[in-house]
Amino acid sequence: MTEASKIVDAKGQSCPMPVLLTAKGIKDLESGQVMLVEVTDSGARSDIPAWASQTGNELVESSEADGVMKFYIRKK
């Protein structure tokens, strides 16, 4: 499992909040650090990977269990 330097809890938030919280959270990281984003909104299944790709950040790992999606994103 990937280790995260920061965790963004976007559980219970509806679109577009998970992406906005992700964008805000990544600003606090240094290049190469990893952030974990936890989301329950089903739209994030495509929105978070698309955001990572569009911003040049790397989606390192993703998983889903018990209705919670976890995205590990490495800052560019």
Q: Catalytic site residue 58?
A: no
Residue 13 CA, chain-centre distance (Å), reads 13
Q: Which amino acid makes up residue 65?
A: A
45 and 70 in contact (C-beta within 8 Å)? Answer: no
3-state secondary structure 25-54: HHCCCCCCCEEEEEECCCCHHHHHHHHHHH
Residue from 9, 14, 15, 42 carrying the catalytic annotation: 15
Q: Which residues are annotated as catalytic?
A: 15
